[in-house]
């Protein structure tokens, strides 16, 4: 998978599973989604879902997906895999697949919650360039930031809504410091901006930098992903 994010979360595995698998809880902490809703499916079949993301105040991009999970594995880990696609012509992301893994840490200190995913961009050559230079780094950052937001919710009881306020306040303070330097001490404005970027966030503020972004050499797709067939054109438009 081209994108990999891992966070160490010190929480009960069942609670972590619920916060990530139940749509009403998932959409609270994941910056990538504004809506996640399960679609009707037959018992025993993989779960189908609809997702939507507001990319502009007046524009919402939607898509559908299919997922399957392994809640009980012999080694004590859990896995969830999915395939997703969006027929919206303004969605750079055309289709993709990914997984979540829940791995109890070997030292007994929490859960290694990790994801790997990749996707195919649309818009031809322009889409590939825009994805590589802008969208892929942005979606990777959003995933890592969301994972740390989830960690704060589970470890410290800071709700996703409060965590967002903390992040906005943190950004506002840093921006004001740079503006003040530009107005009153322009000679040190560049140094001030650099220090604001390097200054670590408060422990109660989500930060993508706290997550691991490079996969271990042994990382590979889970077998359950191969059981999910690619979405058909009809399924992509089903809602």
What is the distance between the alpha carbons of residues 38 and 10, in angstroms, rounded to a whole number? 28
Instruction: Mention every residue, 6+ apart, whose C-beta is less than 8 A from residue 231.
Output: 64, 65, 66, 83, 84, 85, 95
For the whole model, what pTM was predicted?
0.88
To the nearest whole percent, how much of the chain has pLDDT over 90? Answer: 54
Amino acid 239: pLDDT: 41
- Reading phi first (left if > 0) and then psi (alpha if -120 to 50, else beta), residue 142 is in alpha
Contact 44, 148 (CB under 8 A): no
Distance from CA of residue 189 to its chain's centroid? Answer: 33
State pLDDT tens for residues 224-238.
777 777 765 444 444
Q: Phi then psi for 79, rounded to 5 degrees?
A: -145, 145
Amino acid 219: pLDDT: 67
Q: How long, in residues, is the chain?
A: 239
What is the distance between the alpha carbons of residues 100 and 162, in angstroms, rounded to a whole number? 25
State pLDDT tens for residues 186-221.
888 888 888 888 889 999 999 999 999 988 776 677
Q: Please give the CATH number for the structural domain made up of 3-156+212-236.
A: 3.30.530.20
User: What is the residue-averaged pLDDT of the chain?
Assistant: 88
Highest mean pLDDT among 3-7, 40-44, 222-226 belongs to 3-7
């Amino acid at each position: 998978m081209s994108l990999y994010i891992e966070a160490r979360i010190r929480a009960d595995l069942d609670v972590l599973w619920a916060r990530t698998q139940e749509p009403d809880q998932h959409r609270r902490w994941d910056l990538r989604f504004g809506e996640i809703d399960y679609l009707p499916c037959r018992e025993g079949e993989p779960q189908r879902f609809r997702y939507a993301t507001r990319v502009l105040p007046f524009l919402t991009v939607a898509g559908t997906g299919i997922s399957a999970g392994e809640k009980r594995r012999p080694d004590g880990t859990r896995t969830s895999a999915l395939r997703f696609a969006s027929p919206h012509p303004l969605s750079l992301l055309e289709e993709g697949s990914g997984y979540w893994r829940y791995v109890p840490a070997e030292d007994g200190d929490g859960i290694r919650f990790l994801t790997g995913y990749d996707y195919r961009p649309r818009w031809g050559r322009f889409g590939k360039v825009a994805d590589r230079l802008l969208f892929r780094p942005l979606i990777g950052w959003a995933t890592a930031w969301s994972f740390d937001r989830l960690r704060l919710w589970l470890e410290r009881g800071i709700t996703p809504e409060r965590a967002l306020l903390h992040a906005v306040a943190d950004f506002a303070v840093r921006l004001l410091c740079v503006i003040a330097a530009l107005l009153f001490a322009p000679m040190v404005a560049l140094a001030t901006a650099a220090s604001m970027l390097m200054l670590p966030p408060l422990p109660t503020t989500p930060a993508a930098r706290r997550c691991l972004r490079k996969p271990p050499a042994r990382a590979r797709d889970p077998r359950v992903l191969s059981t999910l067939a690619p979405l058909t054109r009809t399924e992509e438009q089903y809602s």
